[in-house]
């Protein structure tokens, strides 16, 4: 089968053996797969070497084989992949054994995948195939960051640096559905306009003077994923007693914090990463109730998958990039 793999020969499309269903597993014939920034970073994390690994966390397709001991599923069922491996119940942190799909386990950038049956969810009726294939990681990450960890409340103002990622496009929609006011930033006027069309109340230039532009705003909650480039600026505009949730770091991971300013303002800093199956199901139900759908920038044929990686490298996309397999 055709697969997008990383190994000693770099990142490439390659013919790989077809998987089979072991006990407790199913094989899914994938129709679409969603690209995430995590996929972009894995080659660096593996030092551009190692055995061939099929990348990809998100996907949707049809069950084509069922392993021994699997109940509740049939060949032909349409499913989406839950990329949060072995995290079932909502908890304050991920349990032992948790890992996002796509490293160390082979992922979704392939014509087929063998995966534990417990990692499947029925494909939602309100989503297209392409949308179903990219709702898992980004939707779950955004929901946990905003709702579970951020505890967003109706009437609060949420500030989100960086408006173009798939996760942020979900957070904007989730926050508006929760009755919050949303302010985002972007260096791109095109992305700021797109965020406003999606529902954001304000969109300001990332390179602008935030304290001046937001002097009449009270920021209750910040959702951070940019990292060093914006982290302290976000703390600076967060109200006393406010909450900052961080789920990523697209710039440098390490930041310096003025501890005196932090404890004087009694702000909270909370980490968040992906989420549980329980939260995934809550998110899908919430999205269905409020008509929330993934924002898809582009659907790319699988044989042009490396073009999608370049889009993320350039940060030129607004929302998700999806492969048609």
Q: Give the domain range for residue 120.
A: 2-137+294-324
Tell me, yes or no, whether 143 lies in a domain.
no
How is 114-150 classified by DSSP, letter by letter?
EEEGGGEEEPPTTS-HHHHTTSHHHHHHHHIIIIIIT
Residue 211 and residue 172 in one domain? yes
The verdict on residue 167 lying in a domain is yes
Q: Are residues 301 and 212 both part of a single domain? A: no
Instruction: Kindly state whether residue 185 falls inside one of the protein's structural domains.
Output: yes
Do 152 and 58 form a contact (C-beta atoms < 8 A)? no
Residues 64 and 122 in one domain: yes
Tokens describing residue 273: 């990463």
Looking at the structure, do residues 160 and 195 belong to the same domain, yes or no? Answer: yes
Q: List the chain pLDDT tens, one digit each, 325 residues.
A: 999 999 988 899 999 999 999 999 999 999 999 999 999 999 988 988 889 999 999 999 999 999 999 999 999 999 999 999 999 999 999 999 999 999 999 999 999 999 999 999 999 999 999 999 999 999 999 999 999 999 999 999 999 999 989 999 999 999 999 999 999 999 999 999 999 999 999 999 999 999 999 999 999 999 999 888 899 999 999 999 999 999 988 877 898 999 999 999 999 999 999 999 999 999 999 999 999 999 999 999 999 999 999 999 998 999 999 999 9
The SS3 call for residue 184 is strand
Q: Is residue 248 part of a domain?
A: yes
Q: For the segment 70-85, what is each residue's pLDDT rounded down to a tens digit? A: 999 999 999 999 999 9
- Give yes or no: residues 9 and 99 share one domain: yes
- Domain match, 103 and 181 both: no
Q: Are residues 60 and 116 both part of a single domain? A: yes
- Average confidence score pLDDT of the chain: 96
Please identify which residue in the block is written with the tokens 């534990």.
116
Same domain for 66 and 171?
Answer: no
DSSP state for residue 93 in the 8-state scheme:
S
pLDDT at 150: 98
Backbone torsions φ then ψ of 261, nearest 5 degrees: -65, -40
Same domain for 163 and 107, yes or no, is no
Nearest to 159, CA basis, from 147, 171, 177? 171
283 domain-assigned: no
Tell me which DSSP letter residue 314 carries: H
Q: How far is CA 158 from the centre of its chain?
A: 18
Q: Which two tokens stand for residue 193?
A: 């306009």
142 within a domain of the structure (yes/no): no
Residue 279 lies in a domain: no
- Tell me what pLDDT residue 204 has: 97
Number of domains in the chain: 2
pLDDT of residue 280: 98
Residue 120 sits in the same domain as residue 198: no
Q: What's the predicted TM-score (pTM) here?
A: 0.96
Which pLDDT score, from 0 to 100, does residue 253 have? 83
What CATH number does residue 215 fall under? Answer: 3.40.50.720
Helix (H) or strand (E) holding 53: strand 53-54
The verdict on residue 306 lying in a domain is yes
For residues 176-203, one letter each, b for 16 or more C-beta atoms within 10 angstroms of the residue's C-beta and e for the rest, the string is bebebbbbbbbebeebbebbbebebbbb
| Angstrom distance (rounded) from CA 197 to CA 170 | 13
Please tell me whether residues 19 and 125 are part of one structural domain.
Answer: yes
Which two tokens mark 100?
């996002």
Q: Are residues 114 and 38 in the same domain?
A: yes
CATH code at position 316: 3.90.180.10
């Amino acid at each position: 089968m055709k697969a997008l793999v990383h190994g000693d020969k770099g990142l490439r499309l390659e013919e790989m053996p077809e998987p089979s269903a072991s006990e407790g597993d199913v094989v899914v014939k994938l129709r679409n797969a969603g690209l995430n920034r995590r996929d972009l970073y894995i080659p660096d994390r593996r030092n551009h070497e190692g055995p061939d690994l099929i990348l990809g966390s998100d996907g949707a397709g049809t069950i084509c084989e069922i392993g021994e001991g699997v109940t509740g599923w049939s060949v032909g069922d349409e499913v989406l992949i839950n990329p949060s491996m072995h995290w079932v119940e909502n908890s304050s942190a991920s349990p032992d054994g948790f890992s996002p799909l796509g490293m160390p386990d082979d992922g979704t950038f392939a014509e087929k995948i063998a995966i534990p049956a417990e990692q499947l969810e029925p494909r939602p009726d309100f989503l297209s195939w392409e949308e179903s294939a990219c709702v898992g990681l980004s939707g779950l990450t955004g929901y946990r960051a905003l709702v579970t960890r951020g505890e967003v409340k109706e009437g609060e103002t949420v500030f989100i640096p960086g408006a173009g990622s798939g996760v942020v496009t979900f957070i904007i929609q989730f926050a508006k559905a929760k009755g919050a006011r949303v302010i985002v930033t972007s260096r791109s006027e095109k992305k700021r306009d797109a965020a406003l069309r999606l529902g954001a109340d304000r969109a300001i230039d990332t390179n602008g003077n935030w304290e001046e532009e937001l002097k009449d705003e009270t920021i209750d909650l910040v959702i951070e994923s940019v990292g060093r480039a914006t982290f302290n600026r976000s703390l600076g505009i967060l109200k006393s007693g406010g909450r900052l949730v961080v789920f990523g770091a697209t710039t440098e991971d390490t930041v310096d914090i003025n501890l005196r300013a932090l404890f004087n303002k009694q702000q909270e800093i909370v980490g968040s990463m992906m989420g549980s199956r329980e939260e995934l199901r809550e998110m899908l139900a919430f999205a269905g109730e409020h008509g929330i759908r993934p924002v898809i920038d582009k659907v790319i044929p699988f044989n042009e998958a490396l073009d999608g990686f370049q889009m993320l490298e350039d940060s030129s996309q607004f929302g998700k990039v999806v492969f048609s397999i």
